[in-house]
Copies of this chain bind each other. A is one copy, B any other.
Amino acid sequence: MVFKKVSRIKIPEATIRRLSLYDRCLEEFNKGGKKIVSSSDIARKCGTNPAQIRKDFAYFGEFGVRGVGYYVENLQEDIKRALGINRSWNCALVGAGNLGFALLGTDSLAKRGFRISAIFERDPILVEMGSFQDIPMFSMADMHRVISEFGIKIGIIAVNPETALKVSHDLIDAGVKGILNFTPATLKVPPGVIMRNVDFAIDLEGIAFQLHNE
């Protein structure tokens, strides 16, 4: 399959989200030694249906090989290319609190191509450590210089909600184009900057819905 570069068609956010999930399912097929899969195989593993999968893939161009299916590794590469994660992204983590350290303590971001290459923290005692797990740690005052020098495009906000708005402005001023906001603060970003809010309660609400309606 050849995933074409997306042109002017607006691709639904849900499709993008599902591409991420398909990629994770394919990873499991790959680990299990499977070379070729059908859309039904992927659907079963991902808990969706084959028609949805084909519809999602159709946004990106051609399908798998007719009568054969999808080559797992090729499809993974194609999805990664479509998502823009066939490369690594330099990220900045702002806030070395509990959540920040939890993020630093997992390799799940790095595995998906998101490398935290700088940490910004307002507590001078932490900043004095100089680095954490070989990732350099800076004061907030260094943000503009470091982000530009490191070519950082994505900022992860893990500070307290009161500070989040100022941090988002500083990140954008420094050249960041994408923001992942872990705080409940409502942040507005100018056109050209992408923001996503992480809200753990949404997943719990999905669980509650199903428990409630059983």
B209 engages A154 (CB within 8 Å): no
A198 to B109, CA, bound (A): 12
Known: A97-B102, A203-B198, A213-B84. A208 touches B108 (CB 8 A): no
A98 CB within 8 Å of chain B: yes
Q: Does A112 contact B (CB under 8 A)?
A: yes
This chain's copy number in the assembly: 2
Known A-B contacts A194-B211, A208-B178; A200 and B98 likewise in contact (beta carbons under 8 Å):
no
Q: Does A65 reach chain B (CB closer than 8 Å)?
A: no
Report the nearest B residue to A154, measured CB to CB.
B207
**How many residues of A are counted as interface, with CB atoms below 8 angstroms from the partner's CB atoms?**
60
Q: Is A58 an interface residue (CB 8 A)?
A: no
| One of A14-22, A35-43, A68-76, A121-129 at the interface | A14-22
Is residue A199 contacting chain B, with contact meaning CB distance below 8 A?
Answer: yes
